[in-house]
Chain A
Amino acid sequence: MREVAPGLGWYEYGGDVGAVALAFPAGFHAEGAGRPGLAHFAEHMLMAPRDRQAHPYARLEERGCLLEARTRRDHLTVTVSGPQRHLLRAVETLVAHLTDLERPGDTALRQAEIIRNEVLEKTALSPATDRWRWCVPTPDGAIGADHDPVVAPALAGSAVHADAWQAFLARHVRLDRCSAAVAADPALVGPGAVESALGPRTVPRIPRAASPGRGAQGCKAPRDEIVLPVRADDLAGQSAALAAAELAAETVAAAHRQPGAAVHYGLFDEWFSENAPTVVTVPLPAGTDGTAVEERMRAFPKTVTEPGALARARRRLSHEWARRLATPSACARLTAWMLLGGRMGDPFAPCDPDLVEHSASAAAVLRGA
């Protein structure tokens, strides 16, 4: 994983299939406090086919390429994957689509209905069970405030943003201000050619929120869990928080006397995809003795300094990181996110014990509502 040109990350990936990801600073954070749902709606408008012949999808699909987009707290990411020999042409097709925001007249109303159906499908027709509402912060505000970027606006009808999406995309989705990443063999897909197709760019610095992250005070979690605020935004700080959480999961497993407590990063469990402050959580399995966990967590800051503890956490995290980098599309996305967050590098190679201890000392057990 390296930056081969300003704002262009490269993950060398052999095989027949490769991927290109573009990460724009157009996530929920950018939509503004009074416009929940705008980023997701803008993503749908951006990715909507531009005619009844499904341009540009039909052209990409006949060459074996797949196009997808996702909106998260801090960014909107577009990924195209497909045969490496067609990847450059796929990038050119994608660039042409992203830079021309003309869409058929009925697109906004249709996409609003599609978004509504998407939410109902993804929440299995039970939107109230979704936990995004709880953990998405109001821009520049505290986490837990009522800023729901997905569920409520979709059910209310996101077409209220029909007049705002173009200005939002024009401001936040710009090829000259994004991070790009390629997972491919440089001998098959030339970095220079990709750079030429994308044009020059600078990676924008996403503004950091002023609040120090979700704390335990006044929060009602949807379930019992351990929360570890991430105190530093850089690669070392986020890696240390993950290492501390891994050791917290070990503590939960010991209290529960069963393996299996999993670390969960941010809103969507996509490592290094969010900017600080974000959180790492360890859900407590059903039937866990919460009092026993609280008892053990009191000694937790000392536990993380025990000999071998950090090495164990690093080993497990490195294994999980390798698993998450198993596909070219994942490699491209993760590289683009790390580049956008200014955190390129091997996340768990160095792991500062002081930072891990610092994260561990801020861990709190939240009891479910």
Chain B
Amino acid sequence: MRDPLTRATPLTRMNRWGTTLDLVRRPSHFCATAPVPVASPDDVLSWLCLCECFAGGFSSPLMVAGRLTGTLFRVHLALLPGMPGEGVLALAFTSPAASEPAGPPALCRALADIVAADGVTAPRWHGAALRLRTRLATTDALPRRSPWHRSPYDAQLADPLAWAARNPPDPGSYRPPLAALARELPEYHPAAEGGR
């Protein structure tokens, strides 16, 4: 289906939860991506857990900025399968004209706060790991030929609290890609594209 404004064919990628992320930059749709290293199942779980921690629910800072205090419907922060040894961290959300003055700047501020913070507290990390296990158990099965069934993406989380204790979040790993997302977001303000 072509976009009626840009006539471009949307580029979409499926996230771990079976929903697609629209990665095309266009008026009222924001997205930014950053490559991240993914070498082992624990790397995959760490990125999925960070996504859950930062954007998975109302206790997550991006969701708080986008939905609890803002009026965006959903802020997608997702790990997407990439080339061997590499994944893609993607941030995407739809912010139509009425939400635009407040939505994207609030998300940029929330990203900056995450990058500037000391790290993630243990209770927050444990809660994210528990929610990740719930999400893994309650999402529909992925298509058989999905790249998510390719090692190391077919990771399992049997004991979330033990896994969270063994794999604490590493600010040195997640700060650079999140900072890259924060830098990338304002660079293509839709108005500059003359879309509306």
Contact = CB atoms under 8 A, between A and B. Distances in A.
Interface stretch (A132-140, A204-212, A320-328): A320-328
B72 interface: yes
A125 B10 CA distance: 11
Interface in B28-58: 28-29, 56-58
A78 to B, nearest CB: 14
Given A17-B138, A54-B68, A61 B94 contact: no
A328 B99 contact: no
Interface stretch (A93-101, A114-122, A160-168, A357-365): A114-122
B96 A116 contact: yes
Interface stretch (B78-86, B123-131, B167-175): B123-131
Contact of A120 (B59, B69, B94): B94
B138 A57 contact: no
B22 A124 contact: yes
Interface stretch (A33-41, A63-71, A190-198): A63-71
Contacts of B26: 125
A189 interface: no
Contacts of B73: 114-115, 117-118, 121
Contacts of A66: 57, 131, 134-135, 138
B138 A328 contact: yes
Given A121-B73, A125-B29, A64 B133 contact: yes
Nearest to A113: B71
A311 interface: no
B127 A63 contact: yes
A323 B140 CA distance: 8
Interface residues of A, number: 38
A82 B131 CA distance: 7
A145 interface: no
B64 interface: yes
Contacts of B131: 61, 64-66
Given A125-B29, A326-B141, A63 B69 contact: no
Nearest to A324: B140
A295 interface: no
A117 B100 CA distance: 11
B155 to A, nearest CB: 16
Given A64-B131, A117-B94, A81 B99 contact: no
Contacts of B162: none
A17 B130 CA distance: 10
B134 A81 contact: yes
B106 to A, nearest CB: 14
Interface string A52-90: 101001100111111000000000000001110000000
Contacts of A83: 130, 133-134
Contacts of B94: 117, 120-121, 125
B189 to A, nearest CB: 17
A64 B57 contact: no
A62 B59 contact: yes
Contacts of B59: 54, 57-58, 61-62
A327 B140 contact: yes
A262 interface: no
A64 B64 contact: no
B67 interface: yes
A65 B123 CA distance: 14
Contact of B98 (A16, A58, A116, A328): A116
A19 interface: yes
B74 interface: yes
Given A61-B127, A117-B94, A327 B137 contact: yes
Interface string B17-33: 00000100011110000
5 contacts: A49-B58, A64-B160, A125-B94, A129-B1, A330-B140
Top 9 nearest A-B pairs by Cβ distance? A64-B130, A54-B58, A57-B58, A17-B137, A121-B94, A118-B73, A113-B71, A329-B138, A117-B73
Interface of A: 15-17, 19, 49, 52, 54, 57-58, 61-66, 81-83, 110, 113-118, 120-121, 124-126, 128-129, 323, 326-330
Given A83-B133, A125-B94, 9 more contacts: A17-B133, A63-B127, A65-B134, A113-B71, A117-B72, A117-B94, A117-B96, A118-B74, A128-B4
